[in-house]
């Protein structure tokens, strides 16, 4: 079957750095994406990795290792507004996005 | 900034009734999708649509569901004979490209469906 594993919850302090890991097992692979979702809101695209390595977009970075079927999202200089759920998602052989269960990020002042 | 628009934001219906959820994708996007999210759970792919036909659909998207692009702007999801387990948030999304481009989606705000 197809599965993505990510921690259910992560807690961090405002201003700190946090890493959310994602491991995947899917039929085919067309990239790893990260989405942010605030409570009651729509998923918002954050980052995409099609090839191995690090992608940086402002305070957010995402990493992919296809040989390890592993990626992570790194959030720096955490702000209270970053409190949200973060989903990793993989494009499978049918170009469908397969989603992880999401990681709830709790930020404390 | 261009956005995907969905209506209604919330619909309550009786079990067995038909519902139609509407979406206006971003105007220059060519690929359209419906996803659903049961409360507190992960997002699930339902269907993708390109060039006026379904390109992919999941096991969830059975004969109860259908999609249509009735005109140049709207994209609809119809659920016939709703069941209690259809209660969820339904998200429409669009992307300018297919293939790996399906990883990069713009989502609408969602339509919450409550089946009683």
Per-residue pLDDT tens for A46-68?
Answer: 999 999 999 998 999 999 999 99
Per-residue pLDDT tens for B37-92?
Answer: 998 888 999 999 998 899 999 999 999 999 999 887 899 999 999 999 999 999 99
* Minimal C-alpha gap between B102 and chain A (Å): 6
CA atoms of A90 and B77, how far apart (whole Å)? 24
- Residues facing B47 on adjacent strands: B34, B57
Judged by CB atoms closer than 8 Å, whether chains meet at A96 and B43 is answered as: no
Query: Can you tell me the mean pLDDT for A76-85?
Result: 97
Q: Nearest chain B Cα to A32, which residue? A: B103
């Amino acid at each position: 079957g197809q599965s993505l594993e990510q921690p259910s919850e992560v807690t961090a302090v405002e201003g700190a750095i946090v890493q959310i890991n994602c491991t995947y097992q899917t039929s085919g692979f067309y990239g790893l994406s990260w989405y942010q979702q605030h409570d009651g809101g729509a998923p918002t695209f954050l980052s995409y990795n099609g090839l191995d390595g690090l992608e940086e977009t402002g305070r957010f970075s995402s990493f992919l290792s296809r040989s390890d079927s592993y990626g992570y999202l790194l959030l720096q200089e955490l702000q209270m507004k970053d409190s949200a759920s973060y989903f990793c998602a993989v494009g499978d052989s049918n170009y469908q996005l397969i989603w992880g269960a999401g990681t709830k990020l709790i930020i404390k002042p | 900034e261009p956005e995907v628009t969905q209506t209604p934001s919330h619909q309550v219906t009786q079990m067995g009734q038909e519902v139609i959820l509407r979406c206006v994708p971003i105007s220059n996007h060519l690929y359209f999708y419906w996803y659903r999210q049961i409360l507190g759970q992960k997002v699930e792919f339902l269907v993708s649509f390109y060039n006026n036909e379904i390109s992919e659909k999941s096991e969830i998207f059975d004969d109860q569901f259908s999609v249509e692009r009735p005109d140049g702007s709207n994209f609809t999801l119809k659920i016939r004979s709703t069941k209690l387990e259809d209660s969820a948030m339904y998200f429409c999304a669009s992307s300018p490209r297919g293939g790996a481009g399906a990883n990069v989606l713009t989502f609408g705000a969602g339509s919450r469906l409550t089946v009683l």
